Amino acid sequence: MSQDPFAASHSVSSPAGPPAPWGLVATIVWGVAGFCVSGAAQLAVFVGYVMIHPEAGDAAAIKAMGVNGFLLSIVTIVGAPVWIAVMVLASRRRGWRAADYLALVMPSRGQLLFGLLCMVPLLVAFDVLSYATGHDVVPPFMSETYKSAAASGSLVLFFVAVVIIAPVSEEIVFRGFLFRGLNASFLGVAGTLAVTSVAWALMHIQYDWLGIAQILLIGLLLGWLRWASGSTVLTITLHMMTNFIALMETAIWVEWLS
């Protein structure tokens, strides 16, 4: 697989080329800013939900909102585009085309096949490991959220949020914007893979330690594939596939095995 086709832009080597990416501190600040603005939009959804459903104001109801499939879907669909918009704005403010800065280029068929050959065995190994160690192959968070979405008639919305919206936004942020800036800093490729994968894994605190560890490893693989291919579209595709498989496993478990 080829190196990042934009690697030459990691430093200013030609007046005709794009500017250097944002530096380490600025990259982190922009990323955190996007997270905060997205969080504010998500909080507004929660507040609106509680105002429309006053009965959701007690402690037990608030706890139940953590696995409310409909609500979490809306929160994701509202918050994700906001975070993406901030990343696009930051890319343009640096003098880049957003698509270039975020590495939104199509991978080759060979790169896609290679990515699948890396990801699928890893997912199978995770399921085997979970089963062998007595952990749930389908995390309780996923099964409870799926049940909630099914009960509220919002499974389609849940599918869109989990399989499409979340992967697109997370890859654009972590393997797109953050990767571009951090990789151009003293962190280099190895440091960038570590930082982005750890940060991404820590966003998934709804899972147990094994689930978070698995997400960390998936993040490392996605980050490496992003570096090797120069394509965030590749990692978006693989992330979507991963979430689709997880959702199908959840549906099979809830509908037929539980």
- List, for residues 177-192, the tens digit of each pLDDT value: 999 999 999 999 999 9
Q: pTM of the full predicted structure?
A: 0.90
pLDDT score of 3: 46
Residue 229 neighbours by CB under 8 Å, 6+ apart = 1, 2, 4, 107, 108, 111, 115
Q: Give the domain ranges of the chain.
A: 7-257
Average pLDDT over residues 200-225: 95
- For the stretch 80-107, pLDDT in tens is 999 999 999 999 999 999 999 999 999 9
* Residue among 226, 244, 247 nearest 114 (CA): 226
Distance CA 232, CA 177 (A): 10
* Residue among 18, 26, 27 nearest 174 (CA): 27
Distance CA 181, CA 163 (A): 27
Distance CA 241, CA 258 (A): 24
Contact 218, 246 (CB under 8 A): no
DSSP result, 17-62: SPPPPP-HHHHHHHHHHHHHHHHHHHHHHHHHHHHH-GGGGSHHHH
pLDDT score of 57: 59
pLDDT at 133 over 70: yes
- For the stretch 55-75, pLDDT in tens is 665 666 667 788 999 999 999
Distance CA 158, CA 88 (A): 26
